[in-house]
């Protein structure tokens, strides 16, 4: 009798276990998302791209330290902010464009953001003397010699070493104060959430804090043509309109919103615009605000790393926030921007250590909803699922020198400001050599096991069953070599087993019914459910 076997579904399972190194790949679970992670050590000139096994895929080297972020662009080039200049390099580390920022009077800091048109948004320090800022309505008692606000510029690369500023937005143009009615910007602060209170003083920072806004993160939403920024010292994040001209960005009219450069949405600390008290504050010295990318599970929501604030809360958290837009405007309730709380939050331990980063660090969402978390002082990047399951951790082994597999690392000796993980199908990887080139550190036992299992998993996943089965012979698409093959019935009874199998077929002697064929090689297991008729 000829029996027919029908393929119903596939399940793959693998486990990685090993002695834990102190640098490089520290932890790996099957639920880690497929992709490659980009990071730049703070204390040397390198940029690395690694795979989930902690193996180096590519490396770029620069002439100056980072200042502080880098991004892999969709055309496969690398955009990096250095201490003194911006650079674009190709996959092979060839300089395509560079621009001396400091030499051109642009004090870029923290973050940059590549735009779809090839331009670059930059955070620029915008400094004012005490005389200048008092003339704007600042309380003289809270001014030192100089105060730093921030501005955002859009830089257009020109040629190989030049650039043009094509758009600009400044905090100085959107202030309000209720201290001196004889000075500009005087008004009722709680009635103007679109402006920044020039005299707000946070209780946990000194009134003479020079860096008043301290913007540390920037992102762009192409669909909305809007920019989001994080102001650390105000514990707030802001959305502004990018569709304006520079003149409109300095005013309260123009652009898609017809509000010019006014704040469209703000969140995290309503005390800054005199709405609520300390109990309403949600963000504490936050970093790395981003919109979740189009096509991702949480598309359109906003992710942020919530650092904590010294004695107020000695732990960090990561979040998703979901603003509401109605009639082309962000909605408020009782004159406070909504939502009233986070859409999703996570805080806890990673490798038995409570996540707490007082400065720097970052996070972002992945296509499947998983979260990447960068703990800057540890030089550590981890991935968790939305349910809080820890699935991956990698610790940067590159400082002023390379650390070895089991060498201890003091905090900040291997620090990284942020890390970016790109999905495996990211456009920037098209046509690129993604062959692993070994670990950055001298050796890593978990990476070695992972690399071996990855090869075996790819091998075992190529096994296919050829249907129909003729004369009780189950044939495969190739000659296969496995440690074990089992056939199990629906009651869990093992009806067939063979070890050290090498062949392209199995001769069956089973009754009609539902079975599972299980392939095993080097602890990788693949199960295929079949129906024998």
Q: Give domain status of residue 294, yes or no.
A: yes
Q: Both 165 and 233 in a single domain?
A: yes
**Whole-number Cα distances in Å, 264 to 73, 168, 184:** 28, 17, 22
Average pLDDT rounded to a whole number, residues 421-436: 96
66 or 312, greater pLDDT: 66
Q: Both 487 and 385 in a single domain?
A: no
Q: Give domain status of residue 451, yes or no.
A: no
Task: State yes or no: pLDDT of 446 exceeds 60.
Answer: yes
Q: Both 393 and 255 in a single domain?
A: yes
Q: Distance between CA atoms of 369 and 389, rounded to whole angstroms? A: 12
* Boundary residue ending a domain (443, 471, 496): 443
Q: Are 263 and 239 in contact (CB under 8 A)?
A: yes
Pairing state of beta strands 371-375 and 362-365? antiparallel
Which of 205-209, 234-238, 290-294, 387-391 is the least confident region? 205-209
Task: State yes or no: pLDDT of 3 exceeds 90.
Answer: no
Q: Both 142 and 214 in a single domain?
A: yes
Q: Both 95 and 131 in a single domain?
A: yes
Strand partners, 107: none
What is the chain's mean pLDDT, rounded? 91
Q: Give domain status of residue 463, yes or no.
A: yes
Q: What is the pLDDT of residues 79-109, one digit of tens each?
A: 999 999 999 999 999 999 999 999 999 999 9
Q: Please return the burial class of 287, using the count of CB atoms within 10 Å of its CB with bins 0-12, 13-18 and 19+.
A: buried
Q: Output the domain CATH number for residue 350.
A: 2.130.10.10
- Identify which of 1-10, 28-37, 456-465 has the greatest average pLDDT: 28-37
Q: Both 412 and 469 in a single domain?
A: no
Q: How many domains is the chain partitioned into structurally?
A: 2
504 or 304, greater pLDDT: 304
Task: State yes or no: pLDDT of 134 exceeds 50.
Answer: yes
Q: What is the pLDDT of residue 4?
A: 43
Q: Both 436 and 491 in a single domain?
A: no
Q: What is the pLDDT of residue 1?
A: 37
Q: Give domain status of residue 448, yes or no.
A: no
Task: State yes or no: pLDDT of 144 exceeds 50.
Answer: yes
Q: Distance between CA atoms of 140 and 502, rounded to whole angstroms? A: 84
Q: How far is CA 153 from the centre of its chain?
A: 23
Q: Both 419 and 482 in a single domain?
A: no
Q: Give domain status of residue 426, yes or no.
A: yes
Q: What is the pLDDT of residue 507?
A: 85
- At residue 19 the predicted structure's pLDDT band, cuts being 50, 70 and 90, is low
Q: Both 518 and 377 in a single domain?
A: no
Q: What is the pLDDT of residue 455?
A: 67
Q: Distance between CA atoms of 38 and 434, rounded to whole angstroms? A: 13
* Boundary residue ending a domain (417, 443, 469): 443
Average pLDDT rounded to a whole number, residues 458-483: 79
Q: Distance between CA atoms of 433 and 419, rounded to whole angstroms? A: 21
Q: What is the pLDDT of residue 15?
A: 38
Q: Both 470 and 346 in a single domain?
A: no
Which of 16-30, 187-201, 449-463 is the least confident region? 449-463
* DSSP tag of 314: S
Q: Give domain status of residue 348, yes or no.
A: yes
DSSP tally for the chain: helices H, then strands E:
3, 39
Q: What is the pLDDT of residues 360-386, one digit of tens each?
A: 999 999 999 999 999 999 999 999 999
How many CA atoms lie within 13 Å of 223's alpha carbon, on the beta-carbon side?
9
Task: State yes or no: pLDDT of 210 exceeds 80.
Answer: yes
pTM: 0.86
Task: State yes or no: pLDDT of 456 exceeds 70.
Answer: no
* Boundary residue ending a domain (390, 417, 443): 443
Q: Which residue has the tokens 């001396």?
A: 100
Q: Distance between CA atoms of 273 and 176, rounded to whole angstroms? A: 9
280 or 20, greater pLDDT: 280
Q: What is the pLDDT of residue 469?
A: 65
Q: Distance between CA atoms of 59 and 83, rounded to whole angstroms? A: 19
- At residue 468 the predicted structure's pLDDT band, cuts being 50, 70 and 90, is low
Q: What is the pLDDT of residues 381-406, one digit of tens each?
A: 999 999 999 999 999 999 999 999 99
Percent of the chain clearing pLDDT 70 (strictly above): 94
3-state DSSP assignment of residue 441: coil
Q: Give domain status of residue 256, yes or no.
A: yes
Average pLDDT rounded to a whole number, residues 431-456: 89
Q: Give domain status of residue 380, yes or no.
A: yes
Q: What is the pLDDT of residue 464?
A: 83
Q: Output the domain CATH number for residue 481.
A: 2.60.40.3080
Q: Both 417 and 509 in a single domain?
A: no
Task: State yes or no: pLDDT of 317 exceeds 90.
Answer: yes
Range of the domain at 488: 5-9+456-532
Q: Both 229 and 343 in a single domain?
A: yes
């Amino acid at each position: 009798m000829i029996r027919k076997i029908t393929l119903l579904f596939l399940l793959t399972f693998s486990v990685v276990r090993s002695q834990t190194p102190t640098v490089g790949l520290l932890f790996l679970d099957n639920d880690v998302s497929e992709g490659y992670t980009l990071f730049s050590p703070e204390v040397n000139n390198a940029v690395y791209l690694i795979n989930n096994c902690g193996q180096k895929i590519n490396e770029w080297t620069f002439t100056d330290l980072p200042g502080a972020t880098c991004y892999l662009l969709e055309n496969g080039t690398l955009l990096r902010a250095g201490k003194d200049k911006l650079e674009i390099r190709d996959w092979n580390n060839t300089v395509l464009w560079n621009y001396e920022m400091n030499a051109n009077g642009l004090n870029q800091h923290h973050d940059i953001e590549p735009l779809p048109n090839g331009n670059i948004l930059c955070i620029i320090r915008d400094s004012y003397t005490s005389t200048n800022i008092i003339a704007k309505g600042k309380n003289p008692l809270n001014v030192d010699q100089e105060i730093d606000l921030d501005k955002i510029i859009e830089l257009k690369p020109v040629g190989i070493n030049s650039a043009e500023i094509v758009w600009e937005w400044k905090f100085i143009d959107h202030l309000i104060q209720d201290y001196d009615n004889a000075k500009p910007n005087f008004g009722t602060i709680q009635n103007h959430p679109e402006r920044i209170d020039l005299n707000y003083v946070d209780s946990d920072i000194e009134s003479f804090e020079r860096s008043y806004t301290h913007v540390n993160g920037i992102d762009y939403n192409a669909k909305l043509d809007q920019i989001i920024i994080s102001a650390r010292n105000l514990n707030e994040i802001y959305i502004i309109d990018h569709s304006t001209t520079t003149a409109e960005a300095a005013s309260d009219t123009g652009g898609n919103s017809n509000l010019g450069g006014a704040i469209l949405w703000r969140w995290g600390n309503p005390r800054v615009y005199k709405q609520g008290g300390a109990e309403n504050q949600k963000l504490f010295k936050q970093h790395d605000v981003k919109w979740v990318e189009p096509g991702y599970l949480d598309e359109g929501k906003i992710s942020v790393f919530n650092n904590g604030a010294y004695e107020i809360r000695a732990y960090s958290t990561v979040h998703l926030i979901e603003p509401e837009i109605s009639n082309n405007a962000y909605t408020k309730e009782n004159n406070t921007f909504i939502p009233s709380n986070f859409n999703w939050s996570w805080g806890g331990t990673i490798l038995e250590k409570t996540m707490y980063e007082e400065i720097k660090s970052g996070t972002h969402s992945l296509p499947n909803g998983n979260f990447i978390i960068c703990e800057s002082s540890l030089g550590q990047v981890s991935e968790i699922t939305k349910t809080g399951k820890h699935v991956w951790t990698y610790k940067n082994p590159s400082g002023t020198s390379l650390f070895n597999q089991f060498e201890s690392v003091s905090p900040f000796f291997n620090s990284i400001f942020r890390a970016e993980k790109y999905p495996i199908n990211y456009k920037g990887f098209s046509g690129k050599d993604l062959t692993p080139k070994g670990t950055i550190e001298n050796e890593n036992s978990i990476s070695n096991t992972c690399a071996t299992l990855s090869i075996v998993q790819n091998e075992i996943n190529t096994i296919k069953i050829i249907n129909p089965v003729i004369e009780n012979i189950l044939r495969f698409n190739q000659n296969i070599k496995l440690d074990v093959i089992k056939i199990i019935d629906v009651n869990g009874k093992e009806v067939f087993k063979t070890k050290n199998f090498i062949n392209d077929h199995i001769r069956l002697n089973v009754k009609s019914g539902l079975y599972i064929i299980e392939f095993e090689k080097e602890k990788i297991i693949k199960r295929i459910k079949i129906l024998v008729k």
